């Protein structure tokens, strides 16, 4: 089986990876194959989890709890720093991915929102731990001048698979339900991690870095590197604004608009098409202008997503939010990894990524419950979405103090 995978990767690399040097094509091909499998997993399970929870009876407070769960691993990234002092980043990432995705097989037995939330808590805790390890792997195996294009090609595999599978998954969920489809999705998620294990990690000489320091010392980065501080503040405002609104998205889709799984699938298909097209652009723009610029541009676009949700009274009002979300999802995904590497300069990228993910995790755990508090104070869903747009705009303003990318500059300090 795995021999066939390797043969496929080599042939795929010759056909579709011609813009990259020969030495990079194997790893990019392996990552793309893993991304395709993960895209199927994501389309079948992760895209529909909030809607499934809502249909199982989850109220806005439980939806907020689910949104917070997605950041459990991020807030524990300090544990990742400790583990990566003893184990290679690749091994650490694989163990987390395999453990988290295998747990979703148990959704076969779940018919209650509470039990589903328990399983997703374990999944997101393990799925959220590896980003610092993955950032180190990316830094190690791809030279700086090709990282944006490499990641763009890889993400195209993920988005392409989601593009095909999301509407199909929506239809199948309407007929079969989550108890059948989610365990099937888990199998694809596990297969993705197994394929990723074939990555060849050979450190690029120019990117060699020291071992990570203890986390209390790592936090001094925010004081020492002012561009990274402003970038982190801006991204925190952006994420807080977005997370204020996200728990209300299923409420708008199910309660206000009464959308079926199939209609959510079609909207998500539109979002995936836009994300796929975005990868053509963002990867090259990252190589030309840098991850910081790309993230900042996409944060500006994100202002519009909660705005459209606040005024959506039919599916046509909601469609622009899905379109913009697709465009910025690929830009934020690619840009954030590269921005951390760029702002780290010659320092240890694991430390920068850990600070970044920890701050993101704290924000992610707190912001959704702020939504519940605002609802209890009498604010409506459209008012909270507008507040989210305002906070995202403030984040964009803060990011203007992060130094823009200059080609060839080794550091942002």
Query: Which residue carries 């407070």 as its tokens?
Result: 61
Q: Mean pLDDT throughout 268-279?
A: 81
Q: Mean pLDDT throughout 85-98?
A: 87
> What is the rounded distance in angstroms from the CA atom of residue 161 to the CA atom of residue 158?
5
Are 102 and 80 a contacting pair, CB within 8 Å?
no
Q: Mean pLDDT throughout 41-61?
A: 85
Higher pLDDT, 267 or 337: 267
Q: 319-343 pLDDT, tens per residue?
A: 899 999 988 888 888 888 788 778 8
> What is the rounded distance in angstroms from the CA atom of residue 333 to the CA atom of residue 131?
11
> What is the rounded distance in angstroms from the CA atom of residue 271 to the CA atom of residue 143?
31
Q: Mean pLDDT throughout 348-367?
A: 77
Higher pLDDT, 72 or 209: 72
Are 327 and 219 a contacting pair, CB within 8 Å?
no
pLDDT at residue 218 greater than cutoff 70:
no
pLDDT at residue 203 greater than cutoff 70:
no
pLDDT given for residue 302 in this prediction:
93
pLDDT given for residue 375 in this prediction:
86
Choice among 214-218, 270-274, 330-334 with the minimum mean pLDDT: 214-218
pLDDT given for residue 305 in this prediction:
92
pLDDT given for residue 194 in this prediction:
94
Alpha-carbon separation of residue 383 from 158, 289, 312 (angstroms) = 34, 36, 12
High-pLDDT (> 90) share of the chain, %:
16
pLDDT at residue 26 greater than cutoff 90:
no
> What is the rounded distance in angstroms from the CA atom of residue 259 to the CA atom of residue 20?
43
Are 238 and 389 a contacting pair, CB within 8 Å?
no
What contacts 26, CB < 8 A, 6 or more positions away? 9, 10, 13, 200
pLDDT given for residue 337 in this prediction:
78
pLDDT at residue 192 greater than cutoff 90:
yes
State the pLDDT confidence band at 410, using cuts at 50, 70 and 90: very low
pLDDT at residue 268 greater than cutoff 60:
yes
pLDDT given for residue 114 in this prediction:
84
pLDDT given for residue 225 in this prediction:
78
> What is the rounded distance in angstroms from the CA atom of residue 148 to the CA atom of residue 164?
24
> What is the rounded distance in angstroms from the CA atom of residue 75 to the CA atom of residue 121?
13
pLDDT given for residue 246 in this prediction:
82
| Of the options 3.40.1180.10, 1.20.1090.10, 1.20.1250.20, 3.30.930.10, the CATH number for the domain spanning 2-197+224-399 | 1.20.1250.20
Global pTM?
0.70
Cα torsion 45, 50, 53, 58 to 10°: value is 170
pLDDT at residue 4 greater than cutoff 80:
no
pLDDT given for residue 24 in this prediction:
75
Q: 170-184 pLDDT, tens per residue?
A: 888 888 888 888 999
> What is the rounded distance in angstroms from the CA atom of residue 193 to the CA atom of residue 129?
14
Map out the domains of the chain as residue ranges.
Answer: 2-197+224-399
pLDDT at residue 75 greater than cutoff 70:
yes
Average pLDDT, the chain: 80
Q: 109-154 pLDDT, tens per residue?
A: 888 888 888 999 999 989 888 887 887 888 788 777 777 777 777 8
> What is the rounded distance in angstroms from the CA atom of residue 44 to the CA atom of residue 317?
25
> What is the rounded distance in angstroms from the CA atom of residue 371 to the CA atom of residue 358?
21
> What is the rounded distance in angstroms from the CA atom of residue 366 to the CA atom of residue 373?
11
Which helix (H) or strand (E) is 207 found in, with range? Answer: none
* Most confident residue range from 105-109, 252-256, 390-394, 400-404: 390-394
Look up residue 255 and give its DSSP letter: I
State the pLDDT confidence band at 63, using cuts at 50, 70 and 90: confident
State the pLDDT confidence band at 391, using cuts at 50, 70 and 90: very high
């Amino acid at each position: 089986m795995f021999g066939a995978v390797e043969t496929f990767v080599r042939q795929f690399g010759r056909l579709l990876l011609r813009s990259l040097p020969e030495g990079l094509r194997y790893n990019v091909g392996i990552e793309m194959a893993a991304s395709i499998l993960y895209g199927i997993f994501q389309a079948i399970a992760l895209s529909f989890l909030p809607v499934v929870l809502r249909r199982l009876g989850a109220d806005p407070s439980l939806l907020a709890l689910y949104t917070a769960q997605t950041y459990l691993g991020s807030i524990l990234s300090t544990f990742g720093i400790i583990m990566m002092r003893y184990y290679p980043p690749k091994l650490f990432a694989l163990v987390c991915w395999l453990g988290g995705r295998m747990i979703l097989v148990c959704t076969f037995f779940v018919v209650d929102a509470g039990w589903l939330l328990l399983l997703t808590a374990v999944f997101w805790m393990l799925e959220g731990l590896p980003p610092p390890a993955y950032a180190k792997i990316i830094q190690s195996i791809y030279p700086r001048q090709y990282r944006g294009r490499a990641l763009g090609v890889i993400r195209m595999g993920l988005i392409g698979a989601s593009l095909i599978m999301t509407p199909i998954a929506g239809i199948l969920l309407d007929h079969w339900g989550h108890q059948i489809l989610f365990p099937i999705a888990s199998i694809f998620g596990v297969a993705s991690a197994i394929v990723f294990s074939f990555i060849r990690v050979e450190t690029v000489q120019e990117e060699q870095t020291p071992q990570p320091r203890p986390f209390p010392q790592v936090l001094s980065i925010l004081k020492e590197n002012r561009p990274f501080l402003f970038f982190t503040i801006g991204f925190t405002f952006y994420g807080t604004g977005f997370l204020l609104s996200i728990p209300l998205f299923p409420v708008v889709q199910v309660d206000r608009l009464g959308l079926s799984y199939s209609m959510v699938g079609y909207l998500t298909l539109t979002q995936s098409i836009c994300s796929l097209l975005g990868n053509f652009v963002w990867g090259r723009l990252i190589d030309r202008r840098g991850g910081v610029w790309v993230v900042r541009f996409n944060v500006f676009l994100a202002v519009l997503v909660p705005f459209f949700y606040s005024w959506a009274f039919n599916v046509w009002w909601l469609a622009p939010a899905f379109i913009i979300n697709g465009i910025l999802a690929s830009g934020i995904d690619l840009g954030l990894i590269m921005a951390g590497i760029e702002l780290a300069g010659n320092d240890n990228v694991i430390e920068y990524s850990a600070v970044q993910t920890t701050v993101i995790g704290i924000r992610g755990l707190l912001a959704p419950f702020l939504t519940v508090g605002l609802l209890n104070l009498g604010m409506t869903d459209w008012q909270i979405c507008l507040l989210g747009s305002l906070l995202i705009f403030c984040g964009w303003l803060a990011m203007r103090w992060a130094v823009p990318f200059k080609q060839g500059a080794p550091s942002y300090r």
